[in-house]
């Protein structure tokens, strides 16, 4: 009876820790798009802005694998170029936002006092503005270049990360090992790097995935409104906007880049959800006697 119970427990534990099928699909989709972003432009049959003919919204097979866009350009080639620009810009935005948000949040929690009050009130003031409206104001005033686009979106996303990083750091700062580090005379930067950051890696990793998704959607939304990546550059948001009239002619030209955006965001969300659930389960099991 004991052997049977042990066997059943082992099977249950194996099933519990096995990866769900949806996660494998999400990993495969994201890995495929990463490969496309890295090597896709080199394999594109035509140039990013090369016009192949006068036929707008040609069907698949006439001008390439997916047909042509509103100017007669190869839609497949532009999709490959757009993958690198969309995913690459979002990755830069997410890393820059995390550098600013996590650094400022940890520093505000450790130093406290006037610095914490100043950074928190400034952060609250930025959060009071709708993110899309704030981005439109800044980009319309400073220009639509890629550096301004990246800096604007990163600053807006950093305000969300700041609140989470500060809250996580405040929870860690009350621990005994932090008091011991302060008693040894360790500085604020050492405590941030060696004590706080290792303790909050799991929630920050999950938040990074979420912010990466928001960066993709944010950049695509700005490109759709005409204030993001500018033509003839290929971006998935730009491709949706410039081919939107193709829906009137029964073309899938605007649907394909929109489906690409949806596939990446859904895949990352599935991975983040699994990571959060797994981390919560592991943490709870570690706290059990």
Straight-line distance from the first to the last Cα atom of the chain, in angstroms, rounded to the nearest whole number: 26
60 located within any domain: no
Per-residue model confidence (pLDDT) at position 1: 42
- Whole-prediction pTM: 0.82
Q: What is the pLDDT of residue 180?
A: 84
> Does residue 166 lie within any of the structural domains?
yes
Quote the pLDDT of residue 4: 45
Does a structural domain hold residue 4?
A: no
Distance, in Å, from the CA atom of 88 to the CA atom of 80, rounded to the nearest integer, reads 12
Please state the rounded mean pLDDT for residues 71-92.
90
The yes-or-no verdict on residue 234 having pLDDT over 80 is yes
Q: What pLDDT sits at residue 200? A: 86
Confidence band, pLDDT 50/70/90 cuts, at residue 10: low
Give the residue-averaged pLDDT of 200-224: 88
The rounded mean pLDDT for the chain is: 83
The residue behind tokens 């400022």 is 104
47 part of a folded domain: no
In a domain, 12, yes or no: no
Tell me, yes or no, whether 32 lies in a domain.
Answer: no
Percent over 90 (pLDDT), the chain: 28
What does the pLDDT average to over 121-146? 87
Is residue 57, in this structure, part of any structural domain at all? no
Q: Which domain holds residue 181?
A: 85-277
pLDDT at 51: 83
pLDDT at 150 over 80: yes
Supply the pLDDT for residue 113: 85
Q: Is residue 18 part of a domain?
A: no
Q: What is the CATH number of the domain that holds 188?
A: 1.10.3720.10
- Angle value at C-alpha 213, between 79 and 278, nearest 5 degrees: 125
Per the structure, how many domains does the chain have? 1
């Amino acid at each position: 009876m004991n052997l049977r119970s042990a066997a059943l427990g082992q099977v249950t534990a194996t099933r519990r820790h096995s990866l769900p099928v949806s996660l494998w699909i999400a990993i495969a989709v994201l890995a495929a798009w990463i490969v496309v972003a890295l090597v896709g432009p080199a394999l594109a049959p035509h140039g990013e802005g090369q016009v192949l003919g006068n036929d707008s919204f040609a069907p698949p097979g006439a001008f390439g694998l997916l047909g042509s866009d509103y100017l007669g350009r190869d839609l497949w080639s532009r999709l490959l170029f757009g993958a690198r620009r969309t995913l690459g810009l979002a990755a830069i935005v997410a890393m820059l936002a995390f550098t600013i948000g996590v650094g400022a949040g940890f520093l505000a929690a450790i130093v406290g006092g006037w610095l914490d009050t100043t950074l928190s009130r400034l952060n609250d003031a930025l959060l009071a503005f709708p993110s899309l409206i704030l981005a439109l104001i800044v980009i319309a005033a400073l220009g639509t270049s890629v550096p301004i686009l990246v800096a604007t979106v990163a600053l807006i996303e950093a305000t969300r990360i700041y609140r989470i990083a500060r809250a996580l750091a405040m929870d860690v700062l009350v621990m005994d090992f932090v008091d011991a580090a302060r008693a040894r005379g360790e500085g604020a930067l050492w405590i941030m790097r060696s004590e706080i950051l290792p303790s909050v890696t799991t929630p920050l990793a999950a938040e990074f995935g979420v912010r990466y998704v928001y960066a993709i959607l944010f950049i695509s939304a700005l490109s759709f409104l005409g204030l993001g990546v500018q033509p003839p550059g290929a971006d998935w948001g730009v491709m949706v906007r410039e081919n939107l009239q193709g829906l009137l002619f029964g073309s899938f030209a605007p649907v394909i880049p929109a489906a690409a955006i949806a596939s990446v965001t859904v895949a990352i969300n599935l991975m983040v959800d699994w990571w959060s659930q797994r981390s919560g389960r592991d943490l709870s099991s570690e706290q059990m006697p």
